[in-house]
Structure 1
């Protein structure tokens, strides 16, 4: 159950981050409120996942790492952002770090 809550938290965080551009610096109330609500839901669900037994380090690493990698993909596909070598390397390092943390938590 904790991993399902974490998946929902990552999804909510992706929605909030995807909305950032449309808030126009938080000058547009609708997108700004949706963005903030998404972040609130993400934090709540992450806290619930940790409460349900997920280790804090593992939960946060997955939440932030997968969120970072997926938002890069969303930026590429939907927001017209370029893929640079540095960006690809950064995402690879983030994913490698998340995998390393998960492997280290099971030992």
Structure 2
């Protein structure tokens, strides 16, 4: 279940961040509520993952890295923001880093 909670944290945080983009463009009060709900849910899910026994370094590292990668990709699709080759390489390095974190935690 800890992985389900961590995935919930990643998706909630990404949703909150994307909502922040909408709120910053004059989207109104509803988007600000979505920002708050996304971040509250993200921390709640992260707390549940930690409570389930996932190490803090692993949980936070994966949460932050996956959130950055998912936000960059999604903002490209939704808002037509740039996603250059260098940025794509960075996302690839994030994925490799997350794999190393998980492999290192298994020992």
Matched, 1:84 2:84: yes
| Partner of residue 73, structure 2 | 73
Gaps of 5+ in 1: none
Q: Which stretches of structure 1, 4 residues or more, deviate above 6 A after TM superposition?
A: none
Cα separation, 1, equivalents of 2:52 and 2:27: 37
Query: What's the offset of the Cα at 1:8?
Result: 1.0
Matched, 1:38 2:38: yes
Query: What's the offset of the Cα at 1:89?
Result: 1.7
Query: What's the offset of the Cα at 1:28?
Result: 2.7
Cα separation, 1, equivalents of 2:36 and 2:30: 10
Number of aligned residue pairs = 107
CA contact (8 A) 1:26 1:32 kept: no
Cα separation, 1, equivalents of 2:3 and 2:99: 15
Secondary structure in structure 1 of the residue aligned to 2:80? coil
Sort the Cα spacing of 1:75 and 1:96 in 2 relative to 1 into closer, same or farther, 3 A. Answer: same
Sort the Cα spacing of 1:72 and 1:45 in 2 relative to 1 into closer, same or farther, 3 A. Answer: same
Cα separation, 1, equivalents of 2:21 and 2:10: 18
CA contact (8 A) 2:2 2:50 kept: yes
Secondary structure in structure 2 of the residue aligned to 1:54? coil
Cα separation, 2, equivalents of 1:101 and 1:70: 18
Secondary structure in structure 2 of the residue aligned to 1:82? coil
